[in-house]
Structure 1
Amino acid sequence: MGHLDHAGFGWLTPVLSYVMACAGAALGLRCTVRALGATGRSRRNWLLTAASAIGTGIWTMHFVAMLGFGVSGTDIRYDVPLTVLSLVVAMIVVSAGVFAVGYGRGRTRALLLGGLTTGLGVASMHYLGMAAMRLHGRVSYDPPLVGLSVLIAVVAATAALWAALNIKSPVAVTVASLVMGAAVSSMHYTGMFAVSVRVTPSGAALPGASAMQFIFPLAVGLGSYLFLTSAFVALSPTTGEREASASAQRTVESVAR
């Protein structure tokens, strides 16, 4: 059996991956709150931004954590199309979950459906990302731990969407995003502890790209997207603020007359 190292760079990758998960969750929750206060095209755009933020945060969290993952006795490469597919799946399934909440009629039903869909999306993204791994040997999984990781993902997603529906204050959104970041990270590491690798030493070249060649630049790009979008969302006025400034302007105009 190959010895598995989950933190090849010490605390750097677990902490950085947690930060990415929290950033994605915070932005996603903030955008969902904005979406529920908007209508028409504006609501759809906020929900799309929320889904892209959560999907990007989850994917970046997974692969930043994977930068620190190593197996003794073999190199690791990643299948590029499958890795990109895992990002697309994260985006699409999270979108379905977020839209179920944004447009759902019955609140509880929409929340459960959205949480289940988003949670399964997080889990499928994780295991697709794992399936993209190429190494000299055979990867196997412990089924109870895999089941637990999927359960954590569903519960975490449901809790996050509940928070988006019920929480309005910035402090509460921050706390909710820290909790969701912790849940996504714990789902990831539960899934990683389910892994065992039987190494078959070989001098043959592995197909695919190394983490530093492919995943690192992509993670940096997506991380930059998250932080730039966060800045834009933080600076754009909420519906309430827009209405307040419009009514203030009307008051000024009526006084001027």
Structure 2
Amino acid sequence: MDMTDVQHFALGDWLLLLAYLTSVVGCTVGLSCTLQARYALSARSRLSWLALAALSIGGVGIWLMHFVAMLGFSTPGMPVRYNVFWTVLSAVLAVVSVFGGLLVFGVRTRFAWWRLIAGGVITGLAVNLMHYTGMWGLEVKGSIGYQPGLVVLSVVIAVVAATAALWFTVAVDKPLHRLAAGLVAGIAVTGMHYTGMAAMRVHLDMGAPDPAGVEVFSFLFPVFVLAAVALAVPICAVLMAPPPGSRRAPVQVPAKQPA
């Protein structure tokens, strides 16, 4: 049995739009936090903003998008299961890897091209790392392989679009422009995911043992509760923070000279 028996939109084509919008929301909020980090007045504040950005982009924009998209994956008539360890690890790797990329790019106020490129590469690779780690936890009645050419293409898509999204955070500072950055980042994540899924080669075998693990729908409640928290905290922080660029370093008052 071959790939013709695998479905990526078993619940309907609308799942593609939902997955994309999930990524856009997470990435837009996260990139807003990244912009706030560039105007932070202290290293501690800057790192806090970047941590919130990584939580939003990595946890929601990347991992939750992957989770939503995988709701449509099916091998009709055969079970699909997920290894809990690899699934959770993919979420952790997404957040940690994005934080690493943002540290390179967003830890300094002054713009530098090498930081943008390095941050884009690391963040783009983080998308791929999460995806293929999560797919390692996918269990089917058979075996799974990948077409190398499409795997490489998925990496290129993620890196290029992630770099473009990061560039938006310093090139513009208006809300609509930040939304545009989120739309670009959403394309990176969603495009990478479905390119990676196109690279997958599933060989189903009726005689193979049933896969171990749990069904994807078993994750629904805890995942969406955690996702709500991962979005609510950064959103509240952005709403309560002053507009980017309005903060100024405190004026240094010279000490009085002794008479």
TM over 0.5: same fold?
A: yes
Q: CA deviation at 1:218?
A: 3.8
Q: Which residue of 2 aligns with 1:255?
A: none
More helix by proportion, 1 or 2? 1
Confirm whether residue 169 of structure 1 aligns to residue 174 of structure 2: yes
Deviation at 1:11, TM superposition (A): 2.6
Q: Per-residue deviation at 1:240?
A: 5.9
Match of 1:251 in 2: none
Name stretches of at least 5 consecutive residues in structure 2 with no aligned partner.
249-259
Please list the CA deviations of residues 125-149 of structure 1 after superposition, one character each: whole Å capped at 9, or x if unmatched. Answer: 1011111001111111111111100
**C-alpha distance in 2, partners of 1:30/1:106?**
16
Among 110, 117, 125, which residue is 2:130 paired with?
Answer: 125
TM-aligned CA deviation for residue 46 of structure 1: 0.4
Secondary structure (helix, strand or coil) at the match of 2:212 reads coil
Range with bigger deviation, 108-117 or 235-244: 235-244
SS in 2 for 1:138: strand
Shift of residue 243, structure 1, vs aligned partner = 5.4
1:233, CA displacement in angstroms?
Answer: 3.1
After TM superposition, the runs of 4+ consecutive aligned structure 1 residues lying more than 4 A away are 239-244
**Alpha-carbon distance change, 110 to 195 in structure 1, aligned in 2, over 3 angstroms:** same
Q: Which residue does 2:76 correspond to in 1?
A: 72
Is 1:88 aligned with 2:96?
Answer: no
Q: Deviations over 1:174-204 (max 9, x none)?
A: 1111121122111111111111211111484
Q: Structure 1 residues 220 and 12, CA, compared in 2 at 3 Å: closer, same or farther?
A: farther
**Which of residues 67, 77, 101 in structure 2 aligns to 1:63?**
67
Against the structure 1 CA distance between its residues 240 and 165, is the aligned structure 2 distance closer, same or farther, given a 3 Å change threshold?
A: closer
Q: Pairwise mapping of residues 1-257 of structure 1 onto structure 2 (< 5 A)? A: 1-2=2-3, 3-38=5-40, 39-56=42-59, 57-103=61-107, 107-202=112-207, 204-214=209-219, 216-238=220-242
Task: Give the drift of 1:14.
Answer: 1.4
Q: Is the 8 A contact 2:16 2:69 kept in 1?
A: yes
1:242–1:91: structure 2 CA closer, same or farther, 3 Å change rule?
same
Output the CA distance in 2 between the equivalents of 1:218 and 1:112: 35
Q: How has the CA–CA distance of structure 1 residues 191 and 218 changed in structure 2, closer, same or farther, with 3 Å as cutoff?
A: farther
Q: What residue in structure 1 maps to residue 251 of structure 2?
A: none
CA distance in 2, matches of 1:208, 1:36: 43
How much does 1:221 deviate?
2.1
Residue ranges of structure 1 left out of the alignment (5+ in a row) = 245-257
Would you say the 8 A contact 2:141–2:210 is kept in 1? no
In 1: Cα distance, 2:15 partner to 2:228 partner: 17
182 and 4 in structure 1: CA distance in 2 versus 1, 3 angstrom threshold: same
Contact in 1 for aligned 2:30/2:234 (Cα 8 Å): no
- Distance in 2, matches of 1:74 and 1:194, equals 21
Q: Which whole-Å CA distance do the structure 1 matches of 2:243 and 2:12 have between them?
A: 44
Question: RMSD in angstroms over aligned alpha carbons?
Answer: 2.1
Structure 2 counterpart of 1:248: none
> Which amino acid in the other structure matches residue 239 of structure 2?
L
Percent identity over paired residues: 40
